[in-house]
Chains A and B, each alone.
Chain A
Amino acid sequence: MDINTKALKKNAFRVTKVRGITASRVRVPGGHLPTEYMGMIKAIADEFGNGTVHITSRQGFEIPGIRYEDMPAVNERLQPIIEGLNINQQTPGKGYPSSGTRNVTACIGNRVCPYACYDTSAFAQRIEKAIFPNDLHFKIALTGCPNDCAKVRMHDFGIMGMSRPHYEKERCVGCEACVKKCRTKSVEALTFRNYKVERDAKTCIGCGECALACPTRAWTREGEKRYRLTLLGRSGKKNPRLGVDFIKWVDEESIIKIILNTYDYVKEYIDPNAPGGKEHVGYIVDRTGTEEFLKWAMRDVELPKGAEVISPLYWGGIRYR
């Protein structure tokens, strides 16, 4: 058997522990898909695989038990899924292009969840279009609100939804439902004074609890979407650590630009001898210094009014050695 393992890995297949057998990896950007594609995945698993599917930790499906020689046939069968999920692809019919950059994951977001501040899957799909295909090792995740169900702080770029609260004093009847919710569920940014509510903008994390609690629509969410962007969290064998806050109240445009800029930075500074050509962004930043990274990342970025850049940035984390 003569198989180019390097090439198949770049085609979203895997070298498994079973000789002669591969697995196909189906990415679902934003973790949301029409059910018709599930039927297609099932058909591939039944026909070419072993009749099982693994739901991956990054919101994809891995179809195990496929023979290497069936890869072209599988790729053909994957084509409608790739098109349907709007995946950037160089050559139609040749399967998923892959990929040091991992599937962009998202919590269920505001299509379903009452707490979510935006449509996480839609934003994930927008990022997908901007960055794929790409061989560099990037992990990006989106979560609807500061509850962070998607655990975005474990990612190079963590995107957390924020709702900028809007207070219409004239509609406030002083029931204090917002004050109580902010105190018990969030950061205690609201105080009741002179029968109206005052918000400490520095403390507020934009979780939206006030807008949820308000019975009269005195508190609502401003329509313009804003986010908290966290930086350079990671898992791994050297120094796993949580991503730290980078920009509060940042907008979508800036986030996408910062991510694309970071690809340029990585291309410039990645260790040419990194195993498999993959190196976590964070280790590169450790080497170049944060200043140099920020110089690249913020190139031509015009932050929206009200965005707060946190500086300086410090990471901690666990060091195994």
Chain B
Amino acid sequence: MGYYLKEREADRFLKELSADYELYAPVKMKDDGMFSDTDTVRYGKIAKASDIVFDEKSDYSFKEVLLPLSETLFFFTENQMKEADGRKKGAVIFLRSCDLHAVKRLDEIYLKNGYEDYYYKRIRENVKFVLMGCKSCFEDCFCVDMGTASADFYGLSMEPKDGGYQLDNKYAEWDGILEELCQEKLPVTPSTVTETKVRVTIPENLTLDVAKSGMWDEYDGRCINCGRCNFACPTCTCFTMQDIFYTDNGKVGERRRVAASCMVDGYTDVAGGGSYRKKNGERMRFKVLHKIYDYNKRFGYHMCVGCGRCDRICPEYISFSGCIGKLEEAQKEVENHDAE
């Protein structure tokens, strides 16, 4: 059902929701940028509609709500393990179409792929998604080519229009309040991008042999293995476990998991000092092929959703979409090499 809400009513709607949910949306974080006097847009709690940043792409993704950067799993004493408490409230997450597609990727890993993840599931079960329509693409977006530019599986859509907001609701339990608050009921279709400036074509004949191409070597020098691309990515799901203790000699502590990056040193370290993929180019190859090759091989669709955050956040101006663009030649290179 479609609704038009004026600013004040939109705020009242959000206030209603906040009785049962924490509301998360892209917000402007003042002085949060790496440089002085620069801001970021990333996910934070909101209280009113004007807190939501609609006209910029968030630097980091919504995934932090479902997979906190640092999350306590359980506490331990000498004789006991105590599971960390879950959140009291559910969550409503405002996100764009590409990100809604990313949720499917997170679910694939955390709800399927062998085991269900207890901590993810208990948050995920109480999450509702609000689609933020995109009127036009941003600089680095390539969602259209990744097939994620539209998503009809949203629960609610919301976007600014004529000083208010237009919403399309599929959550039956919210229709009551929306009907009460709305100025007008009307058919609403969330805005969708149909073309992007950045285009990608993933070669269909790609094989793992492309790993042998010389194309990866340039990243040895260019990449600084900071991991920003992974931390900003809405589909990267890796983590590392940490055990910490509260006092030097105490027996009390906690085990937690923190987001991990396959670009950062230490990711593949095994006990005894061994590690794999020492060069940054190898790490780049591992990441890129996971996003657009081997994830697809395992799960039947590409992991990358084309949000372009990795491009935007890279301090070394390394473009992921640009890298995809080199794959076709690289595949030819390795095939010719094998033919010789």
By a beta-carbon cutoff of 8 Å, the part of chain A in contact with chain B is: 110, 114, 116-119, 161, 163, 169-175, 177, 194-196, 208, 211-218, 220-223
Contacts and interface: CB of A to CB of B under 8 A. Distances in A.
Contacts of A208: 36
A216 B35 contact: no
B245 A170 contact: no
Contact of B35 (A170, A195, A212): A212
Minimum-distance CB pairs A-B, first 7: A223-B31, A173-B258, A195-B242, A215-B228, A194-B244, A215-B226, A110-B36
B34 A211 contact: yes
8 contacts: A110-B35, A114-B35, A118-B36, A173-B70, A173-B240, A175-B264, A217-B32, A217-B60
B103 interface: no
Contacts of B260: 173
B259 A216 contact: yes
B231 interface: yes
Contacts of A196: 244
B177 interface: no
Interface SS, B side: loop
B244 A171 contact: no
B97 interface: no
A116 B36 contact: yes
Interface in B17-72: 29-37, 40, 42, 60, 68-70
Contacts, number: 74
B258 A174 contact: yes
A214 B34 contact: yes
A117 B36 contact: yes
A211 B259 CA distance: 18
B231 A173 contact: yes
Instruction: Give the interface size bracket for B toward A.
Output: 20 to 34
Interface string B283-297: 000000000000000
A196 B256 CA distance: 12
Contacts of B33: 220
Given A215-B231, A216-B231, A171 B70 contact: yes
Nearest to A216: B231
Nearest to B38: A110
A255 B93 CA distance: 46
Contacts of B31: 220-223
A169 B226 contact: no
A196 B258 CA distance: 11
A117 B38 CA distance: 11
Of B35, B240, B264, the most chain A CB neighbours within 10 A belong to B35
A217 B258 contact: no
Contacts of A110: 35-37
B340 to A, nearest CB: 41
A215 B36 contact: no
Nearest to B256: A195
A119 to B, nearest CB: 7
B37 A194 contact: no
A208 B226 CA distance: 16
B264 A170 contact: no
Interface in B60-91: 60, 68-70
B226 A174 contact: no
A175 B261 CA distance: 9
A161 B29 CA distance: 22
A283 B40 CA distance: 48
B32 A170 contact: no
B227 interface: yes
Of B30, B42, B60, B258, the most chain A CB neighbours within 10 A belong to B258
A195 B254 CA distance: 12
B60 A194 contact: no
A245 to B, nearest CB: 21
Contact of B226 (A116, A163, A213, A223): A213
Contacts of B228: 215
B113 to A, nearest CB: 22
Nearest to B226: A215
A268 B42 CA distance: 55
